[in-house]
Structure 1
Amino acid sequence: MSNSLLRIGVAGCGQAARIHVERLLTDPDVRIVGVADAVRETAEALAAAIADRQGEAPEVFDEFRGLLDQRPDAVGIFTPHLLHYRQAMDALQAGAHVFIEKPLSTNSQEAADIVSLARGRRLHVAVGHQYRLRPSLIEARARLAADAVGPLRLVTAAMAEPWLARQREQGGESSWRFDPKMSGGGLLADVGDHLIDALLWTTGRRALEVFAVQGRVDPGLDVVTAATIRLEGDVPATLALSGVSRGSLFELNFFGERGRIHATDSILEIDPGGGSPVQRVETPGPATSIDAVVLAALRGQGPPCCSAEDALETVRLSEAVARSAVTGRVAPLV
């Protein structure tokens, strides 16, 4: 696709959509041609805000297929998780590229279907794993690839935040996250998806099997997950997610034979071992937004931040973690 005007439709008009639309409209060659939401008032509110920015109001729909009648070049999908699969498939069938908030889908078979259809139609599917744009994680990935700490022997990944309290306080448009019929999971499938993707992306290794336990609350959503994962090369990794913390945490530790790399979403530290001081690596803020990267990919100017093929591995691991927690057994990734 050339640098001509990009016509974009937006599905789901809540908070995530408002953030992405704000970024998309910083590009003068983007036009939002339609918005869709099951709650029409929500769609109308977003349409009014878009009109103020681009000087023309997009069409408003309360049904997704009406949005596709606008024949957009691409569709941004910012709806509850369980709607991702059907909307992505319909958009691809209509010939539109897709930018979809994480997770790609709630199970690996649906995610594989999206990958297959996009490949067959030669269309882009970009997934919202924007942590890949964090300079600290980019640098950690580069140093691991360069064997900076020697052969990798262990990885620990942890995320903690007051997810349960925050979601209960917000209510409203976030209430679907507490309904298993809409969310497809709790913390693991929501913000935990970022940590799982970061673990796989920084190490460059696929997960082979996992054993996990979870703590749940009514009506059945997970709020705490602990898992042991075997990565390619027989590297063990631990994953810990807590949604009942009073504060926030996001970190990965990579233990090699010659040292350790400690990475958060904003900090990178190298511990060379042997009594040498820990080195703090200065990293700037993200140079660009995921929306700008996706637009560049649509114009043939580079890859998307996270392709559907990459996101499929994250879905596979998330699904295996949930399966192991339910069965109490080691779950191989198939």
Structure 2
Amino acid sequence: MLDMKLGIIGLGGWVTTGHLPALTDLGIKVDYCADIDEKRVKDLSQKTGCKGYLDYKEMLRNENPDLVLVAVPHSLHASIALDAINNDANVYVEKPMATSFQEALTLVEASRKRNKVLVVGHENRFNPAMLIAKKLIRSGEVGKIYHMRGFYIRQRGIPTSPTFIKKDLAKGGAVFDIGTHIVDLLLFLSDFPMPKSVTGKTYSAFSDDKTKFSVYPSPNLPNFKVEVEDFGSAFLNLGDEITAYMEVSWASYIKENKMEVTILGDKGGVHIENGILNFMRNIADEYFISTPSTQPQRGSVYREVWRTVMDSISKGFPEYPLCSAEQGAIGVAILESIYKSALEGREVKIDIPQWLLKQSQLVS
């Protein structure tokens, strides 16, 4: 592993339950941390020995970390990541990398100008089922992809943290929170075709019943209210004669939680549900189904993510299967278009610069 100074900005749940155990397992030291919550800073400083700050700008200015993990509310991802890049740091920013396409482009341009590695936290790519699906598609066994489907549906999973449900902090609800995973997987598995247009719809079906439709504890806050959507769906025209449908929900009347991706090709089909892959094809005129993978422990996924992040920084570019800045920006363009389509009640065209698309395909 590289000897570099690592700083973490934002010390919420995913940092403590996902990133930190992986960093510890790999022997990667956390040197600095920053959060506006003094208790979080104190707790992590005592646990890891890192130097804590309540002001991330002070941390950047005083310590000049080589690598920064940005894990803050969605609305702050882009601005804090940009500050870190401009402070000459490589950056691992949680998804979505930004809440507007223009913000995402600014990040891409800044990282390219300063020759810094910028990766986006789409760890679901590292699920063995997704990697096997990618190999099957690249080998030609699936044939020409013509349609894809993606679902991320919860029964009772409306977040109760203000960072997810307050409009000014989150900017959006289920589409930004979990829809970003589905959009990224659809693009990743299809080698980043050129998105053409989106027709989207969002709903706030259970916002008034947030405690009834959540397994998370309700915070003791005045005027606690869900201000963002809990459901979103979209039909995507991805160009190259590929279409896709996606559906995401924090809460819904379904049998069980599920995360599901289906890839339909003219030679075979791939179906992944909750980490289990099935590959369907014809062999000697018989319909054949194989199931070659199982769901890994979450910790092992994060270990692989961080191992690849460190390798990428040593080489100076994002290594497969990490999500590059360019790829993350295309995902944001689609997410932004879903919201625009839902707001205006019409199909929305997507205009992706050719240079951005070409760069996104280099590490897909």
TM-score greater than 0.5 by the shorter chain: yes
Match of 1:59 among 51, 54, 62: 51
Greater Cα shift, 125-134 or 138-147: 138-147
Which residue is equivalent to 1:135? 128
SS of the aligned residue for 1:5 comes to coil
Q: What are the superposed Cα offsets for residues 21-67 of structure 1, whole Å, 9 maximum, x if unpaired?
A: 23223333x332211111111111111111xxxxxx22221111011
Alignment partners' CA distance in 2, 1:284 and 1:264: 10
Match of 2:245 among 238, 251, 263: 238
Query: How big is the shift at 1:100?
Result: 0.9
Paired AA for residue 252 in structure 1: V
Alignment partners' CA distance in 1, 2:346 and 2:2: 52
Match of 1:121 among 114, 132, 137: 114
Q: 1:22 to 1:258 in 2, by over 3 A?
A: closer
Alignment partners' CA distance in 1, 2:145 and 2:3: 46
Task: Tell me, yes or no, if the aligned pair for 2:202 and 2:232 is still in contact at 8 Å.
Answer: yes
Task: Tell me, yes or no, if the aligned pair for 2:44 and 2:50 is still in contact at 8 Å.
Answer: no
Q: 1:239 to 1:59 in 2, by over 3 A?
A: same
Which residue is equivalent to 1:37? 35
Q: Calculate the TM-score normalised by the size of structure 1.
A: 0.89
Which residue is equivalent to 2:212? none
Residue 57 of structure 2 is aligned to residue 85 of structure 1: no
SS of the aligned residue for 2:323 comes to coil
Paired AA for residue 330 in structure 1: E
Alignment partners' CA distance in 2, 1:282 and 1:131: 14
Match of 1:188 among 140, 156, 175: 175
Query: How big is the shift at 1:302?
Result: 6.8
Residue 313 of structure 2 is aligned to residue 298 of structure 1: yes
Match of 1:70 among 63, 68, 74: 63
Q: Which runs of 5+ in 1 are unaligned?
A: 51-56, 169-173
Q: What are the superposed Cα offsets for residues 253-312 of structure 1, whole Å, 9 maximum, x if unpaired?
A: 122223321123522212215652322223573674212211121222873411111111
Query: How big is the shift at 1:210?
Result: 0.7
Which residue is equivalent to 1:26? 25
Question: What pairs up with 1:233-312 in 2 under 5 angstroms?
Answer: 233-245=240-252, 247-273=256-282, 275-282=286-293, 285=296, 288-300=303-315, 303-304=318-319, 305-312=322-329
Task: Tell me, yes or no, if the aligned pair for 2:175 and 2:232 is still in contact at 8 Å.
Answer: yes
Alignment partners' CA distance in 2, 1:321 and 1:46: 38
Q: Compute the RMSD of aligned alpha carbons.
A: 2.0
Residue 149 of structure 2 is aligned to residue 152 of structure 1: no
Residue 341 of structure 2 is aligned to residue 330 of structure 1: no
Q: What are the superposed Cα offsets for residues 136-167 of structure 1, whole Å, 9 maximum, x if unpaired?
A: 111212222233133222111111113544x2
Task: Tell me, yes or no, if the aligned pair for 1:155 and 1:255 is still in contact at 8 Å.
Answer: yes
Q: What are the superposed Cα offsets for residues 66-112 of structure 1, whole Å, 9 maximum, x if unpaired?
A: 11021111111111111111111111111111111111111110011
Q: 1:265 to 1:137 in 2, by over 3 A?
A: farther
Paired AA for residue 17 in structure 1: V
Report the identity percentage. 23
Task: Tell me, yes or no, if the aligned pair for 1:206 and 1:313 is still in contact at 8 Å.
Answer: no
Q: Which runs of 5+ in 2 are unaligned?
A: 208-224, 352-364
Q: What are the superposed Cα offsets for residues 176-197 of structure 1, whole Å, 9 maximum, x if unpaired?
A: 2110100111111112211110
How many residues in Structure 1 have an aligned counterpart in Structure 2? 319
Alignment partners' CA distance in 2, 1:306 and 1:143: 20
Alignment partners' CA distance in 2, 1:139 and 1:87: 34
Which residue is equivalent to 2:216? none
Task: Tell me, yes or no, if the aligned pair for 1:160 and 1:250 is still in contact at 8 Å.
Answer: yes
Paired AA for residue 192 in structure 1: G
Paired AA for residue 32 in structure 1: V
Alignment partners' CA distance in 1, 2:140 and 2:342: 34
Which residue is equivalent to 2:354? none
Query: How big is the shift at 1:175?
Result: 2.6
Task: Tell me, yes or no, if the aligned pair for 2:274 and 2:295 is still in contact at 8 Å.
Answer: no
Task: Tell me, yes or no, if the aligned pair for 2:128 and 2:293 is still in contact at 8 Å.
Answer: no
Which residue is equivalent to 1:54? none
Q: Calculate the TM-score normalised by the size of structure 2.
A: 0.82
Alignment partners' CA distance in 1, 2:229 and 2:194: 24
Residue 22 of structure 2 is aligned to residue 11 of structure 1: no
Alignment partners' CA distance in 2, 1:149 and 1:212: 28
Task: Tell me, yes or no, if the aligned pair for 1:158 and 1:241 is still in contact at 8 Å.
Answer: yes
Alignment partners' CA distance in 2, 1:4 and 1:293: 12
Which residue is equivalent to 1:171? none
Paired AA for residue 231 in structure 2: V
Alignment partners' CA distance in 2, 1:128 and 1:81: 12
SS of the aligned residue for 1:191 comes to helix
Which residue is equivalent to 2:358? none
